[in-house]
Structure 1
């Protein structure tokens, strides 16, 4: 199979994407693909954006291939490299160089904050349409993580919270939002007593700290709110914490490592190996699946309709039946899985070797495979637009395999 880079003729060095499935038939061909470079100057007015664009387009020569995907570069975030990507139903967010930027699906800049922190390290962002929460990691271990809550419509800062500057809280473990609170896990590195993670619940209206819980050791990899419970996944156990008070209800001794689980319809899916489904809030095992390698800690399981999909450190892509854990399909990519995303009826996978793949969600048919720059391992998708790193692509299925 000819695997010449889809956009090599126009000089793109990195991409991945999501799939739009249209009805098509006949032989599989690769469509002529256009690269559009868009330079925008954007001014935010009352939470909206006015954009002036200059477009230049170069056409790549069509290449015969069994790939059923065409991609078109449509816009870019301001920063060349981003440390974190997130999306809501209608907007993308990126964290980079002490700031955060929000863009609509069509690329219009809603707002940008560039001087939230002097740090040039990473961080996380989550949003729900009312607020956007940015957790920024400091430049030195002697400082603590800064949590900044912004108005999601305008980008105006509502309040800030600083983790302790004691050498133990300079890294972001996880950030989640509920209707009442912002919950953030901060921690250090090292081993044993050097880790000392803290989970803090902050009132999302006032910025007051409702409670915090300190741990003796371990790393927090996930915060999973469910009803009045908060499930805190630590390296070798999961804590069921009262969401209102921070009091520990129960400890579950399961070793889920550094993987971040996913909650859907009252069930949590996760685990380093075995990979498990457990009923919430009881945390009772529904089924267990033993993968061929450890589940990748750089992704969360993808839950869609009747299936759950995850990747492994050894490059396996595994689809299981949500009801009983039976295997639906499995494939293997060229390196550790570092990104899993779904759009419509396809799963996109990124690996650490720099490859992007698309698989049919139902039967696992490999629809697409290309190698690109291996430095951009952040992926997010809305509808038929996917963002990898700082670049957004429109993705379309052009032919059936």
Structure 2
């Protein structure tokens, strides 16, 4: 289930507006994990609304939403043609001062899903998951929660997995109805998709099979994850607050190695063919051998950026003089020592740079695609000073064969 290359079994009718339908609760699952049954109406604070309801809660693109909330910042989802940069449509969240960030976006055939919340605590978060028609941006359904931050979204067949800090809730893709709930606690680290499993990382690491609805394995972690995890070649990599970078064998959850860098390693690592690259909160860029876990390189200059990125043997590093401008280097080995050779300067000034499908994608008040040779193949500008949040950009940008969906805020 690689991001942007999911195989789904979605019916043709999902391109039309979908009315709410009842969903039966999934039966209890054997093993050490037991799903939590749907709560009673008195306990259940969640609700699902569809476009056909009298009070749909549909997002309004005007500053005055008609619900008494005015002049508040909100979040906006952009649909961008990935070839031309043309804005297909935009969808604004309710301007109530509590839907200010889109923290996760995912899509399937004819549908796009996003999760939005605010940074406040307790019942001030007002978290919502919405489903839109991917072609028009029309709202199909929404599912509201009483509280809690989102740690990610993932699709598996007819089910949408919603990871929150203290549980994982499964919604029906067609209607948004709540199907079941699992007692996992992904916290900020959230989860990552890999091969045919979802990997939840909190105080425990869990490999979960969404098709069979069962655990493959569960293991208590020696080091609690702080960064978002990354998966490749049956290995999970993550960083910790104490500066440890950890590799887990994804086949059984056992720890392959751990290595400590200078500072807090809470930013998501990135991978080249042979190395794990880490940007710690001290601004130090380090490379670790993927097989042995040896620290083999530290960049000469400390940097002031938020993200480093990589494709194959290329590494993007923001320059220390400007966090919004960077250089793409290539890994080279001279006399057995790893070195970086400068290849080209990144052609635009961006707050973030990530990778999708063999290209760099950057953005600030817009989004662009840059090839591995440094050529801009697409640029799109966002209006009203909307921009992606660098804290959530890995999860709030979804790239398909012809469209880029970007969750932004003011």
TM-score by length of 1: 0.62
How far does residue 178 in structure 1 lie from its aligned partner after superposition? Answer: 2.2
**8 Å contact from structure 2 (residues 188, 228) kept in 1:** no
Taking structure 1 as reference, are residues 190 and 249 closer, same or farther at Cα in structure 2, changes over 3 Å only?
same
Q: Which residue of 2 aligns with 1:26?
A: none
Q: Which residue of 1 aligns with 2:278?
A: 349
1:301 aligns with 2:229: yes
Q: Which residue of 2 aligns with 1:133?
A: none
1:367 to 296, 321, 333: 296
TM-align CA RMSD? 2.3
Q: Which residue of 2 aligns with 1:332?
A: 260
1:190 to 120, 124, 137: 120
1:242 aligns with 2:242: no
Deviations 1:225-245 (A, max 9, x none): 122211111111001111222
In structure 2, C-alpha distance between the alignment counterparts of 1:375 and 1:291, rounded to whole Å: 31
**8 Å contact from structure 1 (residues 238, 251) kept in 2:** yes
1:318 aligns with 2:253: no
1:284 aligns with 2:219: no
How far does residue 198 in structure 1 lie from its aligned partner after superposition? Answer: 0.7
Q: Which residue of 1 aligns with 2:79?
A: 149
1:251 aligns with 2:181: yes
In structure 2, C-alpha distance between the alignment counterparts of 1:187 and 1:141, rounded to whole Å: 18
Matches within 5 A, 1:2-401: 142-296=72-226, 299-337=227-265, 338-370=267-299, 372-389=301-318, 390-399=325-334, 400=336
Structure 1 gaps, min length 5: 1-86, 90-137
**8 Å contact from structure 2 (residues 100, 118) kept in 1:** yes
In structure 2, C-alpha distance between the alignment counterparts of 1:371 and 1:176, rounded to whole Å: 37
How far does residue 141 in structure 1 lie from its aligned partner after superposition? Answer: 8.6
Q: Which residue of 2 aligns with 1:62?
A: none
Greater fraction strand:
1
In structure 2, C-alpha distance between the alignment counterparts of 1:141 and 1:171, rounded to whole Å: 16
**8 Å contact from structure 1 (residues 278, 284) kept in 2:** yes
In structure 1, C-alpha distance between the alignment counterparts of 2:174 and 2:185, rounded to whole Å: 26
Structure 2 gaps, min length 5: 6-62, 64-69, 319-324, 338-410
In structure 2, C-alpha distance between the alignment counterparts of 1:141 and 1:167, rounded to whole Å: 9
Deviations 1:137-175 (A, max 9, x none): x9x992210111111101101111000001110112212
Q: Which has the higher contact order (CA 8 A, sep 6+)?
A: 1
Taking structure 1 as reference, are residues 293 and 325 closer, same or farther at Cα in structure 2, changes over 3 Å only?
closer
Taking structure 1 as reference, are residues 282 and 173 closer, same or farther at Cα in structure 2, changes over 3 Å only?
farther
SS at match of 1:339: coil
In structure 2, C-alpha distance between the alignment counterparts of 1:232 and 1:206, rounded to whole Å: 24
**8 Å contact from structure 1 (residues 269, 276) kept in 2:** yes
SS at match of 2:193: strand
In structure 2, C-alpha distance between the alignment counterparts of 1:356 and 1:154, rounded to whole Å: 34
